[in-house]
């Protein structure tokens, strides 16, 4: 039976308030990473429109989620925006996503909320293969927020974790060859310093939307002790209560780190 709209909104609001109270009573993850999946299916199945509209809605959801994280004092947020494999999509879709990302970076870099909360914006991945216009937007966002350290908002673009690991291995190998580093001195910490995320703590929680239960070449080194959370909700339809449920699930787990 479908509830009347007003009653439904009242029940939802009451449930959300209770969930917020419950979540605030537990440990909040310091770093949440998100595999944002389902934009195209959302456009087709829910909006009954072209995939561009799904990507547009998904981009707006990123900014919305960042507000949730600021409200809950989540210090680091990382989103998987565009993988190296995504370049295999048709040119029209790739160009649209690049244009959307460029505009979003400029807008967020100038957003007063970013500056009021001292949010550092960082984009990592193989930046060299991105269009020049996107690289300029990345530089702009970096320059505008480089002095901030209270919060960090990290965007993985043209990113693949295997590629990141290979790049780190090559950097270390060059240092060994140049006698800047002894092979015997290579440790996990040394390796970590050669990753794109060297200045970001590993994720406490990685969540993926859309019902897919896989990591898709995302932060493979960094997720060694991350809690994983999967939801059937498509990314553009991801709500605050879905986000709170993910954190509650994280809080209900006992993190032993192998002990």
Quote the CA–CA distance of 205 and 35 in Å, as a whole number.
Answer: 11
- Does 86 participate in catalysis according to the annotation? yes
Angle (CA) 170-193-132 rounded to 5° is 70
- Does 126 participate in catalysis according to the annotation? no
In Å, what is the CA distance from 13 to each residue of 7, 29, 88, 119?
10, 24, 42, 29
Task: Identify whether the C-beta of residue 236 lies closer than 8 Å to the C-beta of residue 41.
Answer: no
Residue 163 buriedness (CB in 10 A; 0-12 / 13-18 / 19+): middle
Contacts for 218 with CB less than 8 Å, ≥ 6 apart? 33, 35, 80, 83, 156, 159, 161, 206
Residue 126 token pair: 């193989």
Query: Which listed residue (37, 39, 154, 202) is catalytic?
Result: 37
Of the candidates 164, 167, 161, the one whose C-alpha atom is nearest the C-alpha of residue 217 is 161
Query: Which listed residue (86, 126, 142, 217) is catalytic?
Result: 86
Task: Identify whether the C-beta of residue 251 lies closer than 8 Å to the C-beta of residue 23.
Answer: yes
Catalytic positions: 37, 86
């Amino acid at each position: 039976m479908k509830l009347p709209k007003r009653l439904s909104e009242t029940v939802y609001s009451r449930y959300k308030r209770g969930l917020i109270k419950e979540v605030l009573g537990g440990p909040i993850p310091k770093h949440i990473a998100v595999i944002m999946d389902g934009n195209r299916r959302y456009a087709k199945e829910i909006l009954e429109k072209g995939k561009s509209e799904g990507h547009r809605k998904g981009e707006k959801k990123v900014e919305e989620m960042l507000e949730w994280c600021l409200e809950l004092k989540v210090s680091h947020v990382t989103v998987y925006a565009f993988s190296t494999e995504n370049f295999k999509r048709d040119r029209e879709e790739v160009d649209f996503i690049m244009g959307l990302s460029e505009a979003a970076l400029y807008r967020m870099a100038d957003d007063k909320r970013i500056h009021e909360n001292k949010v550092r914006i960082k984009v990592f991945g193989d930046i060299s293969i991105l269009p020049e216009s996107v690289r300029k937007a990345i530089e702009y966002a970096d320059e505008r927020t480089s002095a901030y350290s209270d919060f960090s908002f990290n965007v993985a673009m043209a990113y693949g974790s295997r590629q990141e690991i290979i790049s780190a291995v090559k950097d270390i190998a060059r240092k060994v060859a140049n006698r800047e580093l002894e092979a015997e001195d290579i440790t996990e910490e040394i390796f970590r310093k050669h990753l794109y995320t060297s200045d970001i703590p590993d994720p406490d929680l990685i969540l993926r939307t859309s019902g897919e239960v896989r990591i898709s070449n995302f932060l493979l080194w960094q997720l060694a002790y991350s809690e994983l959370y999967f939801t059937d909700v498509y990314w553009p339809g991801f709500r605050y209560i879905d986000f709170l449920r993910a954190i509650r699930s994280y809080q209900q787990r006992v993190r032993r780190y192998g002990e």
